[in-house]
Amino acid sequence: MTLLGVILLGVCFTSKPGNLKAADDSFFWISATGDLRGEIKPCGCSTDGDMGGLLRRATYLKQMRSSHESVVYLDLGNNFPVPSEQGRLKVDLIQKAMLELRPDAILVGPNELLYERPLLNQNLPYFLSNLRGDWLVKKSLFVAAGEKRVGLWGYLSPAQIYQNKHEELDVFPVSSQFIEDLQKQLEETHPDFAVLMFRGDEKELQKFEKSQLFDLIITGSNNDDELNQILEMKTSEGSFISIPTKGQGAFHGRVDLNNKKKVNLELDWFLAKYEDDQKMMAYFDVYDQSVQALFFSNLDRMEKHELEAPYAGEETCKTCHIVQHQIWSTSRHSNAFATLENVNKHFDLECLQCHVVGLQKEGFLSPELTPKLLNVQCENCHGPGKAHSSNPKIRTPNAAVKEVCSSCHQGSHSPKFDYSLYYPKIAH
Ligand code: HEC
Ligand code: HEC
Ligand code: HEC
Ligand code: HEC
């Protein structure tokens, strides 16, 4: 897979007007992450998709900080998952983890704005520059890198805010007025190095690039496809690094203030070689307990519905389709629930959805209440088959069975999925 390994991207750095004389040995390190999008930990579904997560990020940063002097750590934001009850638990976990990771800045991203105001932890350095009026975050940040001062500005395109839960938040697009404003701020504060953390489209990026105000521009990822990472934003003038999506990796690089234009940022994927950080693991245990509690509280609610399940369960299919059942029972699908039990994730709805029958579709509730609906069964692919079982003249609902695979074999859960290679392994 082309994703793996370390790649080097030549980054186009814009030059700043005015000449700044720095001391001879003045350099610092920069590291950037972001776009977690709720992917707090790799699911473990496949070795090829086994990248990312906060536990490895913590180890990575510890190593980075112990072996490099003056590390400025930036996060491009967009870390929260889309809202749900479980998403809310993740937000807590993510922010606890971020407090531990101590970023110097976090750009407010679209996903952070899907939640109500109090969810942005005030002890974290969230910020955003293209804001009108007062809002709860700073508009620029200045951090020390050894003896030097690094100035940070952040831009979030209003076009990228799909949903804004904050009526009082007034974000404006980049304009010549805004560029002038930034120039003034830079002249007044004259940092040794100026960074723009950016999330927007190429046209907007070009405006910042043309302004030549910033020594370095790092962009958030605009894509949601972890298998096809786009790690550069290209404008007609140059290219800028875009951080890996779904928190799968980080960039790091050495900034030499005597030669600001020549910096290479290196990409590191958070592979299993970065061990899980033990301290942070404790937070994950707390999270798993809350997820389990949520599971049981949902169960209470669902039990009250007393739904008539449209599923029959594989034991019923077996009575007439002995051969197919025999083949199925030797496939990994028939073991998918035990797989979750082995990693103690059989109470996590986000995992169960692909490892049991009909979760949240009037099927699986719990191992105790619906013991016949564990694992990936006939009905995951052929559709609910109770009606067919009592009258075989009624066909099973899914005519296009082939197309159903990708509802589970998707993204990092099954990066190598290819129907023509996978189907023969389960052909019946
Ligand atoms: C979108 C569907 C989906 C979700 C959600 C999902 N899985 Fe999976 N999982 C799969 C598929 C598909 C495979 C088989 C991948 C393959 O072999 O190509 C798999 C395989 C696995 C395996 C077996 C790995 C091995 O090689 O033996 C484990 C363990 C696992 N998943 C754990 C989890 C956990 C834990 C979660 C929740 C954090 C989860 N899964 C969520 C679809 C999913
Ligand atoms: C009482 C016996 C019986 C049971 C129980 C039964 N089937 Fe069938 N099934 C049949 C017969 C008979 C046919 C052939 C029907 C035909 O060709 O007209 C069939 C055909 C099928 C077909 C191919 C045609 C279609 O309807 O798509 C599928 C797929 C299928 N069954 C799946 C299942 C699944 C899944 C279950 C369990 C939920 C199940 N069957 C339970 C008897 C049964
Ligand atoms: C409801 C979710 C789901 C659907 C739909 C699904 N799978 Fe799977 N598949 C899984 C899970 C989960 C595993 C891993 C089970 C385990 O190892 O515990 C898996 C494993 C497999 C494996 C074993 C992989 C290996 O390398 O041995 C094959 C092959 C496979 N699936 C093929 C298919 C095909 C083909 C389809 C569509 C016709 C399909 N699956 C549809 C969830 C699904
Ligand atoms: C991972 C998905 C998956 C699972 C699980 C699965 N099937 Fe199938 N099944 C398929 C696919 C795909 C086909 C082939 C359909 C085609 O070629 O059009 C098929 C074909 C069949 C056929 C033949 C249909 C025909 O028209 O000839 C029957 C009968 C059948 N399955 C029954 C079952 C039974 C019973 C089980 C459970 C013991 C089961 N299947 C489990 C995906 C699945």
CA dihedral (72, 76, 78, 80) in degrees, to 10, reads 0
| Cα 129 to middle of ligand 3, angstroms | 46
pLDDT of amino acid 96? 97
Rounded CA-CA distance 202/222 in Å is 11
Distance CA(302)–CA(169), nearest Å, equals 38
pLDDT at 307: 56
Residue of 335, 379, 409 with the most ligand 3 atoms within 8 Å of its CB, for mutation: 409
Contact 112, 165 (CB under 8 A): no
Q: Which two tokens stand for residue 232?
A: 């550069």
Ligand 4 center to residue 309 CA distance, Å?
21
Q: Which residues line ligand 4 (CB under 6 A)?
A: 314, 317, 321, 324-325, 328, 333, 376-378, 380-382, 401-402, 426, 428
Give the whole-angstrom CA distance, residue 213 versus residue 179.
8
Please tell me the distance between residue 374's alpha carbon and the centre of ligand 4 in angstroms. 18
Q: What is the structure's pLDDT at 24?
A: 41
Q: Is the dihedral of CA 187, 189, 195, 199 positive or negative?
A: negative
Closest residue by CA, ligand 1 atom 35: 43
Among left, alpha and beta (phi > 0; psi -120 to 50; other), residue 344 is: left
How many angstroms separate the alpha carbon of residue 364 from the centre of ligand 2? 21
pLDDT per residue, tens digit, the chain (428 aa), is 333 333 434 344 444 433 333 344 588 999 999 999 999 999 999 998 899 999 999 999 999 999 998 999 999 999 999 999 999 999 999 999 999 999 999 999 999 998 877 799 999 999 999 999 888 899 999 999 988 899 999 999 999 997 777 778 899 999 999 999 999 999 999 999 999 999 999 999 999 999 999 999 999 998 888 888 889 898 887 889 999 999 999 999 999 988 877 778 999 999 999 999 999 999 999 999 999 999 988 877 666 544 568 999 999 999 999 999 999 999 999 999 999 999 999 999 999 999 999 998 889 989 988 999 999 999 999 999 999 999 999 999 999 999 999 999 999 999 999 999 999 999 99
What are the tokens at 119?
């969810």
Exposure string over 98-108, b if 16+ CB within 10 A, otherwise e: beebebbbbbb
Distance CA 382, CA 397 (A): 6
For a mutational test of ligand 3's pocket, the pick from 48, 402, 410, 422, i.e. the residue with the most ligand atoms closer than 8 A to its C-beta, is 422
